[in-house]
Structure 1
Amino acid sequence: MNASPNPIEISFELAASRCEDLTPLVYRRLFDEHPETQTLFRQEGRELVTGSMLALAIEAILDFAGQRRGHFRLIACEVASHDGYGTPRQLFITFFAIIRDTMRDLLGDQWSTEMARAWDQLLVEIDAFVGTAA
Structure 2
Amino acid sequence: MNVSPNPIEQSFERAALRCADLTPLVYQRLFTEHPETRAMFRSQGSELVKGSMLALTIEAILDFAGERRGHFRLIACEVTSHDAYGTPRELFIAFFAVIRDTLRELLGAEWTPDIVRAWDALLVDIDTYAAAQA
Give the TM-score of the pair, scaled to structure 1: 0.99
* Structure 1 match to 2:103: 103
* Structure 2 match to 1:87: 87
Q: Give secondary structure in 1 for the equivalent of 2:67.
A: coil
* Structure 2 match to 1:62: 62
Aligned residue runs from structure 1 range 1-134, under 5 A: 1-134=1-134
Which consecutive aligned stretches of 4+ in structure 1 deviate over 2 angstroms post-superposition?
Answer: none
Give the TM-score of the pair, scaled to structure 2: 0.99
The AA in structure 2 aligned to 1:48 is: L
Structure 2: unaligned runs, 5 residues or longer: none
1:65-89 deviation line (CA, Å, top 9, x unaligned)? 0000000000000010111110001
Compute the RMSD of aligned alpha carbons.
Answer: 0.4
Q: Aligned pairs, how many?
A: 134
